[in-house]
Structure 1
Amino acid sequence: MKEKIKIGIACLARNTYDVKAAEQLYKKTQKEVLEKKDFEWIIEKNIVIEEKEAEISALEMKSENVEALILISGTFHLGTLALKYCQILSVPVLLWGYPELPYDGGKIRLNSLCGVNLDASNLYKAHKRSFHASISSTVNEEFLNAIKIQHTLNHAHVGIIGHHAQGFYNIDVDELSIYHKFGILLNHYELNDIFNVEEEQQEVDAYKLKIKQIFDLSDINKNQLFKTAILCAKLKKFYQEQGLDGIAIRCWPEFANNFGISPCAAMSILQEEGIALACEGDIDGLISMIVHQALGFATPFLADLSQINKEKNTMLLWHCGVAPISLWDGVSIRSLDTYFAQNRGVTTGFVLKQGDIQLLRFDSVQGEYRIFICEGKAVEMPKELRGTYANVRLNTSVEKVFDKVVENGIAHHFSMCYKHVNDSIRMYAKLNNIPLIEG
Structure 2
Amino acid sequence: MINLINLILVPSVRSTYEVSEGRRIFNEELENLQKMQDINWFYPSDVIEYTENLEAFLNKMRKEDIDGIVLMSATFHLGDIALLLAQKFYDVPILCWAVPEPPYSSEGRVRLNSLVGAHLDVSNLKKIGKKDVEFVYGSSKSEHFQEKFIEWINIIKINKTLKGAKIGLVGGHAKTFLNIDVYEPLLLKEIGVTVEHIPLSFVFNLNLDRNSIENLKEEIEKTYDTEKLNEDKKSKVCKLIVSFKRILETGKFSALAVRCWPEFASYYGISPCAAMAWNMAQGSILSCEGDVLGAVTMLMLKAIGCKDMYLADISQIIEKDSSLLMWHCGVAPHTLWDGVSKKSLETYFAGGKGVTTDFVLKPGHVTIVRLDHTDNEWRLFITEGEAVHTKQELKGTYVKVRVKDPLKLVDTLIENGFPHHVVLGYGSFTRSLIKFAKTKGWRVVSDD
Indicate the TM-score class for this superposition, using the shorter chain for normalisation. over 0.9
Partners of 2:350 and 2:187 lie apart in 1 by: 32
CA deviation after TM superposition for structure 1 residue 23, in Å: 2.0
Deviation string 1:160-201 (CA, Å, 9 cap, x unpaired) is 011100111100000000010011121111111111222222
1:433 maps to 2:441 = yes
Partners of 1:425 and 1:210 lie apart in 2 by: 36
Partners of 2:285 and 2:346 lie apart in 1 by: 22
Is the contact between residue 2 and residue 303 of structure 2 (CA under 8 Å) also seen in structure 1? no
Partners of 1:203 and 1:220 lie apart in 2 by: 19
Q: Which runs of 5+ in 2 are unaligned?
A: none
Partners of 1:191 and 1:366 lie apart in 2 by: 30
What are the within-5 Å matches in structure 2 for residues 358-437 of structure 1?
Answer: 358-366=367-375, 368-394=377-403, 396-437=404-445
Partners of 2:196 and 2:170 lie apart in 1 by: 9
User: Which residue number in structure 1 is paired with residue 118 of structure 2?
Assistant: 116
Partners of 2:138 and 2:105 lie apart in 1 by: 21
Give the match's secondary structure for 1:341: helix
Is the contact between residue 58 and residue 89 of structure 1 (CA under 8 Å) also seen in structure 2? no
Partners of 1:205 and 1:154 lie apart in 2 by: 38
Quick one: which amino acid aligns to residue 299 of structure 2? Answer: I
Partners of 1:297 and 1:25 lie apart in 2 by: 35
1:255 maps to 2:264 = yes
CA deviation after TM superposition for structure 1 residue 65, in Å: 3.5
Is the contact between residue 316 and residue 390 of structure 1 (CA under 8 Å) also seen in structure 2? yes
Which 10-residue stretch deviates more, 234-243 or 341-350? 234-243
Give the match's secondary structure for 2:85: helix
Relative distance call for 1:127 and 1:61 in structure 2 (3 A) is farther
Partners of 2:433 and 2:218 lie apart in 1 by: 39
Is the contact between residue 323 and residue 402 of structure 2 (CA under 8 Å) also seen in structure 1? yes
Q: Which runs of 4+ in 1 moved over 6 A?
A: none
Partners of 1:64 and 1:162 lie apart in 2 by: 35
Partners of 1:436 and 1:130 lie apart in 2 by: 15
User: Which residue number in structure 1 is paired with residue 160 of structure 2?
Assistant: 151
Is the contact between residue 2 and residue 157 of structure 2 (CA under 8 Å) also seen in structure 1? no
What are the within-5 Å matches in structure 2 for residues 64-143 of structure 1?
Answer: 65-90=65-90, 91-105=92-106, 106-138=108-140, 140-143=149-152
1:57 maps to 2:66 = no
Quick one: which amino acid aligns to residue 211 of structure 2? Answer: Q
Is the contact between residue 225 and residue 343 of structure 2 (CA under 8 Å) also seen in structure 1? yes
1:223 maps to 2:232 = yes
Give the match's secondary structure for 2:279: helix
User: Which residue number in structure 1 is paired with residue 351 of structure 2?
Assistant: 342
User: Which residue number in structure 2 is paired with residue 278 of structure 1?
Assistant: 287
Is the contact between residue 177 and residue 368 of structure 1 (CA under 8 Å) also seen in structure 2? no
Is the contact between residue 371 and residue 379 of structure 2 (CA under 8 Å) also seen in structure 1? yes
CA deviation after TM superposition for structure 1 residue 433, in Å: 1.1
CA deviation after TM superposition for structure 1 residue 87, in Å: 2.0
Is the contact between residue 174 and residue 367 of structure 1 (CA under 8 Å) also seen in structure 2? no
CA deviation after TM superposition for structure 1 residue 54, in Å: 2.5
CA deviation after TM superposition for structure 1 residue 59, in Å: 4.1
Tell me how many residue pairs correspond in the alignment.
438
Is the contact between residue 369 and residue 422 of structure 2 (CA under 8 Å) also seen in structure 1? yes
Partners of 1:230 and 1:371 lie apart in 2 by: 36
What percentage of aligned pairs have identical amino acids? 37
Deviation string 1:63-87 (CA, Å, 9 cap, x unpaired) is 4541321111111111222112212
Deviation string 1:371-430 (CA, Å, 9 cap, x unpaired) is 111111101111111111111111x32221111101110111112211001111011112
CA deviation after TM superposition for structure 1 residue 128, in Å: 2.5
Give the match's secondary structure for 2:271: coil
Is the contact between residue 174 and residue 366 of structure 1 (CA under 8 Å) also seen in structure 2? no
Partners of 1:392 and 1:135 lie apart in 2 by: 36
Is the contact between residue 177 and residue 367 of structure 1 (CA under 8 Å) also seen in structure 2? no
Deviation string 1:216-260 (CA, Å, 9 cap, x unpaired) is 223322221121112111211221111111000000011111111
The normalised TM-score by structure 1 is: 0.95
CA deviation after TM superposition for structure 1 residue 337, in Å: 0.8
1:15 maps to 2:15 = yes
Is the contact between residue 317 and residue 323 of structure 2 (CA under 8 Å) also seen in structure 1? yes
Quick one: which amino acid aligns to residue 383 of structure 1? Answer: Q
Which 10-residue stretch deviates more, 129-138 or 146-155? 129-138
Partners of 2:58 and 2:197 lie apart in 1 by: 39
Relative distance call for 1:77 and 1:305 in structure 2 (3 A) is same
Give the match's secondary structure for 1:109: coil
Partners of 1:223 and 1:312 lie apart in 2 by: 42
Quick one: which amino acid aligns to residue 174 of structure 1? Answer: Y
Partners of 1:23 and 1:15 lie apart in 2 by: 11
CA deviation after TM superposition for structure 1 residue 103, in Å: 3.0
Give the match's secondary structure for 1:23: helix
Q: 2:247 aligns with which of 231, 234, 238?
A: 238
Partners of 2:245 and 2:264 lie apart in 1 by: 17
Is the contact between residue 158 and residue 303 of structure 2 (CA under 8 Å) also seen in structure 1? yes
Relative distance call for 1:46 and 1:317 in structure 2 (3 A) is same
Give the match's secondary structure for 1:233: helix
Is the contact between residue 310 and residue 333 of structure 2 (CA under 8 Å) also seen in structure 1? yes
Quick one: which amino acid aligns to residue 14 of structure 2? Answer: R
Deviation string 1:263-320 (CA, Å, 9 cap, x unpaired) is 0011111101011000000000000011111112234221111111223211111111
Give the match's secondary structure for 1:297: coil
CA deviation after TM superposition for structure 1 residue 159, in Å: 0.9
Give the match's secondary structure for 2:384: strand
